[in-house]
Every structure is written in C-alpha cells, then in structure tokens.
Amino acid sequence: MDCSFFFSLLYFFLLSVGMSAALVADDRRTYIIHMDKSAMPSLFPDHHSWYMSTLSSLSSLNGVLPTHLYTYNHVLDGFSAVLCRSQLDQLEKMSGHVATYPETFGKLQTTHTPKFLGLEPNVGLWPEANFGDDMIIGVVDTGIWPESESFRDDEMPPVPERWRGTCESGVEFNSSNCNRKLIGARSFSKGMKEAGLNISKTDDYDSPRDYDGHGTHTSSTAAGSPVQDASYFNYAKGTAIGMAPKARLAMYKVLFFNYTYEAAATDTIAAMDQAIADGVDIMSLSLGFFETPFEQNPIAVAAFTAMEKGIIVVCAAGNGGPHGFTILNGAPWITTVGAGTIDRDYAAEVTLGDIGDLTVSGKSIYPLDLLVSRVPIYFGYGNRSKEICDDYSLDPKDVAGKYVFCDSGVNTFETDRAGAAGAIFSTDDSIFLQPGDFNNPYVAVIPEVGNSIKDYLIKAKNTTVSIKFQLTVLGTKPAPIVVWFSSRGPDRKSPWILKPDILAPGVNILAAYAPNRGIAPIGDDYDYLLSDFALLSGTSMACPHVAGISALLKAVHRDWSPAAIRSALMTTAYVIDNVNGTIIDMTTGIAGTPLDYGSGHIDPIKAIDPGLVYDLEAQDYINYLCGMNYTNQQIKIITKRSNFSCDQASLDLNYPSFMILLNNTNTTSYIFKRVLTSVVNSSSVYRAVVNAPSGMKVVVEPPAIAFDGKYSTAKFSMTVEVDAGVGNVRIQSDSIVNYGYLSWNEVKGKHVVRSPVVAAFAPYPRA
C-alpha cells in the first residue's frame, strides 16, 4: 500500500472515531526491546517465533496492534516494534524482557554495507579483529588511484616487517604513491603486449595506476580507510569505509583498457605468483576465465599454491546469470562469491499539481540536483492507436519541454526523441535499473503508484509536476535479493561441489573511483560527469566484501586454514531476508535456491564464532581431483607435486555443503562421509537436525557427536535418497530438483552449523 494513501485513510479514520483514537496514534512509538534468549519457552522453534508470539499477545487499543519491524540476531538479543504506551507497559512485565530503548535519530555516518553486514565500531568482529590490522590483501585488478582519500594512512602503524613487496614506478606512478595503507603496487602486462596491445595508444597507464576505476573501487571496498561525506552526487552520502579498514592493500594490475578489459593468463599467473612471494594474506580477484579443466585455468592453478601457503583466495562468481551453469572460479579451493542487493535504494519525490495534490516517490539516480518546479506534464490518455511511449508515439509538438508520464514501461528512446524535459515511467522493472539508465531526469515508479498518477492526470488537465532528486532510502524490503546477473551453479567442470559458496553485497555499492574517469552519463549525447566515488554493481563488488571479511576473521583466528575460514562463512550464512522469507531471485520474484545464493548471505558477526568447521588440506583436494579422473599430468600441473597418491580418490570432499547429481533413474542415493572440527576451547555435544522436503530422505549417523575441546574432530555419515518423481521437480537440464539443510545444533549451546543439501540434474564432465 502506498504510504500517502495509507495516511489519508488514517486521517479520515481519526476524524470519524474522535480524539481518543488520535491520542492512541500519537502515543505509538518505535522501541528497541532487549530480551533474554535463555528465557524462551521450549515450545518455540526459534527466537523470532517467540518475539512474534509475544507481540501478538499484547492487547490492541481501539484496534491498533503492535507492528514488528526487525528481529535482531547478532548485535543484540531482541527486536524492534511500534507500540502504544499501554502495550509497552504489558511487554515490560513479561518474562524475558530485559530493557527497552526508544528510537533515536542521528546523521548518516556510513555508506551502509558495513551496517547491513552488522559491523559495529565498538562491539563484535571489527574491534575484536582490530579492524584487520596487520592483514595484507592483494587485489588483482585494473590498478589503483593512490591519491584517493580511501587510501590515506592516517594513524596506520608501520608496514608489517614480513612484507616483501614493493611499489614499482611507471607511467604516472612512482614509489612515493605508496604509504602505510597502500604498501605495494605492481603492474603485469607482458602477456597483453605480446598479444598486440599497445597500452599507450589505449590511453591506459603502463603502470599500477588505475585507468578504469574498477580496481580502485574493489580495493577500497575490501580495505578502504574511512572517508567522511562520500557520495555519488549526494546519493548514499556518508562515511565510506572498507570491510577491513586497517588492513593493508597491495595492487597487482593485470587488466588494461582494450575495449573488453581482458587479462592475459600469463599476466594473471605472474601477478598471483608475485602476491604469494610478497606475503599477502588474502587475494581478491574480481575477474574470471572461461571455465576449463582446472589445470588450464590460471586462477585455479595459482590459487592452489596460494591455498597451500595459507592464503585465502576469494573470487567473483561471474556476471553470467540468471541462467544455470554460468559459474566462474568454481575450483573448490577458491571461495566463490555471488552478488545480492542491500536494503538501500535511491529515489526522487514527485509532486503533482501546483498545490501538491499528490506526492509519491519512485526510483531515480539522476546525478544532478535539478530544480523541477511546476513543470507541465503530459499524458496522452483517451483514444490512442498505441501506448504512450511506444516508439514514435509522441509528437514533439505536444511534449517538448514537458515531463511525460508513461504507463507502459520504460522507453527512454522515445521520450528523448520527442524532446521531453524528463519522464516518469510506470514499470515493474525499476529494480533492474542502474545509475547509467538515468542519463536524463527520469523517475521509475511501481505500477501501483503509476495507477495513482494515471488516475490523477486523467482528472486534472493541464497540471504540473515538481520533482526532488538525490534522495537515499534505507530499510528497503525485501533484502537481500539475488541480483539477476549473478552467475548460478552448478559449475560445469566441477558439479559435485555446490557453487557459488556464498552471497555478498554487489549492487550499487559506493566506493572510491578514478576521478578523471567519467562515471555518470548526462544528456542524450551521454557526456559523463566525474566523481571520486561511484555506485557500481557486479559480483566484482561482492568479491572484495568477502575478501575484507576474510581478513578480519584471519586477524582473529591466525591459525585457521583458508578452508576453515570459508567454512565459517558458509555455515553461518543466512537464507532469510528482512521480511522473514527465503532470499528471492530478482528475475523470477520468487524464492531462490542454493544454486543462486550458495549457503546463503554472508553474516560476519556469526562467522567469527562458528563452533565447528569443515576443514581441508591439500591432500583432500588431490583426492577430489583423483575422483574427477584427472590424469597424473593434470594433477601435477595443479599441485606442483609428482609424488602424490590417488589411493583415496573420492568426489566426497569435506566441504560445508552437499551436492547430489541426479541421473536419469527415478531414485538416486548417495552416502557422504564428513569430518567436523571444533574451534572452541570447551567440550561440546551437537545433534543433527535435518530439514528435508518431500522427495528427499536424509539419515545422519551418528545423530549426535561429541568434542573434547579445541581442534578435536568427529566423523559422521549422511545418506541422502532423492526421488526425482516427488517434490519440487523440474526436469530441465539446468534446474534444481530439491534441496534441504543439515544443521548441527549445539546441545545447551548457541552454535548452529548449517549446510545446504542440494539435488540437481547436471552434466557429468570428464577432465
């Protein structure tokens, strides 16, 4: 329901029932309620259910019911709600209530993804990890703009003594461009030059300097220093800050402008090889090569060595979605990241009529603070041979200098052709629009709002429109959503492992940019405005979020392997969005699946303390390669070993997710054998909890496992039987058939170790 319509109804309701109901409405306030989780009655399956039941038990006053806003699982135990005073009095007397705080307001102080991920300056992962201090993140990308404020080294301690890298000189770049934040910068272009690229003729820099802005953006996302009052033309205004703001950065440039921004495999391997030698702790690669057998994939080969050295390699899943089998970087020793939205959007406020008869809001990312006040608006209703805003439906004599309302979707070509001053589009597709779509002053409204505008314009002839641009909206719902372009699994070359591993913010992310590179298109001729910060989207943006979070986890758990850190991220991820439904797929508008979002959306606060991990060593991956029927030669290329054994060949890798490939028979059965490792100091007991849909039978043995203390291990087996004729069956070659979850729940403890169990049709590749 449109907010203005709701409040209009509320206004007339208050007039009809008198002042007593008005006083009830005036008495309603938003509160944050802290609860004692240990007081939750055992009949509730989870704390959210308990909170909702508590709210529903409160009496209404003149028909006014409590309104639930959010359930908090991380930064505090409790929830927020809108309550009347009498309802609050009832709540405060209930068992389990700890404290209540009224809503407060302050100035926006962040560009929001840290807040969306639960990162707080005074509690949790940030202070415990000392904001990533002493961690070194190597970014393999398009270079870096060292003068950006995101790379200031204010109050940074000296460069770690273990650092072995350097800051090389080149075109428009020298060693003085590095500091205690940007501690290394190198450029790798020999392969591209051999392929015929003349870097100087492309206007790119034959040096680590960033010509495109992409590498600057990803670097600052991972570990940028805080920058106050950052924005994209006043959108998303706040303090821009990286995931690990005290971590060090090293740039390895391998991408140069050649109209497609391709990287040579030779350059990429050289860059990763150098990063290993320099001493990075994390590698972030927002690029990928076409999926080939692993020994032919430069990132997969180099990442294996990095893994053996204890380096965490995080890669973008690719932007080939929404179709299946589009995953890039699917090697199991790589953490593969898909992209989702956050609960922030950008808007304009539209007022119709000279005295503000109707005010609505819609999506807009038009970069100029344009004064639109009482400009004539055109809507050609009545008898028409074609929809308004269809190609060549507008007469320039009717619309020149006016705003146009289009009730049949987005057609910027037609409004531009006809010389309109701007346009308001009624569309279901506003969620897909990006900053570059707003080269002129457009506003996109959802059809429900569009119908209100249409009704008004039919009745009010010769009316005007006023528009206020550059608005940022927080708390949008639902969020996160799997964005349409994010590549989906299964991986064509390694379908026995569920990919992507995890979802992270990757839509309209604000971060540093090359200030001499045009970012905001303006006008019909697409001139470009410049900015120090940009809103960019892609799995490229999701990848450095996970790289930065991995740096924080590594700072806290120095002895954890890359597999342990990936496991912590995966088994603590969430699949429920901020409207308490399964994370949806932007393309279909319905619940997604683990082939879309992997184990779920990253949750840094929980990942710091996962309880148990599925750990892996190099030999485990070798056993997997053997199980894939890789030849000795192929394995030698990947592992750099000649004295390995395939006696333990197995496709059942000790991974934090479970994948069953269905065959053409009606029933498929598979037995998984896994090992869990405790990462807490005390002894513990866990019980298996299976959430399996119809058509999937899951049996876990033993159903309970015990651990003596930190680094003690326990084995279990899980038998999964899938009936392809029952349940969520879609017999397309690229469709998931069924999925459920296995959780290990700590007895008398807080830890829940959750893994998706997925059954899908997939090709059976051979190396």
Q: What is the DSSP letter of 157?
A: P
Angstrom distance (rounded) from CA 754 to CA 172:
49
- 48 tagged catalytic: no
Nearest CA-CA partner of 283 in 145, 169, 141 = 141
Quick check: bond before 604 cis, omega within 30? no
Please give the full DSSP string across 175-226, using - where no structure is assigned: GGG--SSEEEEEE--HHHHHTT--GGGGT--SSSB-SSSHHHHHHHHHHPPP
| Type and span of the H or E element at 34 | strand 29-35
Q: Active-site residue 141, yes or no?
A: yes
Assess contact for 297 and 268: CB atoms under 8 A.
Answer: no
**Given 97, 214, 217, 557, the catalytic residue:** 214
Q: What is the DSSP string of 712-738?
A: -EEEEEEEEEEETTSSS---STT-EEE
Contact 226, 152 (CB under 8 A): no
Give the integer Cα–Cα distance in Å for 324 and 594: 11
**DSSP, residue by residue, 464-507:** EEEEEEEEEEES-SS--EE-TTS--S--SS-TTS-S--EEEE-S
Q: Annotated catalytic residue: which of 187, 540, 599, 657?
A: 540
Locate tokens 């380096």: which residue? 311
Query: Are the C-beta atoms of 437 and 448 separated by less than 8 Å?
Result: no
**Beta-strand relationship, 736-746 and 684-691:** antiparallel
Task: Convert 245-274 to b/e letters by CB count within 10 Å (16 or more is b).
Answer: bbbbbbbbbbbbbbeeeebbbbbbbbbbbb
Q: For residue 52, what are its two tokens?
A: 């909702």
Instruction: Report the Cα 174 to chain-centroid distance in Å.
Output: 35
Residue 42 is among the residues annotated as catalytic for this protein: no
Q: Give the span between the Cα atoms of 148 and 146, in whole angstroms.
A: 5
Separation CA 441–CA 416 (nearest Å): 11
Closest listed residue to residue 249, CA positions, set 284, 276, 214: 284
CA distance 424 to 377: 9
What is the C-alpha separation between 10 and 16, in angstroms, rounded?
10
CA–CA separation, 206 vs 212, rounded Å?
13
Distance, in Å, from the CA atom of 414 to the CA atom of 391, rounded to the nearest integer, reads 6
DSSP state string for 435-449:
GGG-SSSEEEE-HHH
Query: Facing residues of 659 across strands?
Result: 758
77, 97, 141, 430: the active-site residue:
141
* 8 A C-beta contact, residue 608 and residue 128: yes
In angstroms, the first-to-last Cα distance of the chain is: 54
Instruction: Provide the annotated active-site residues.
Output: 141, 214, 540
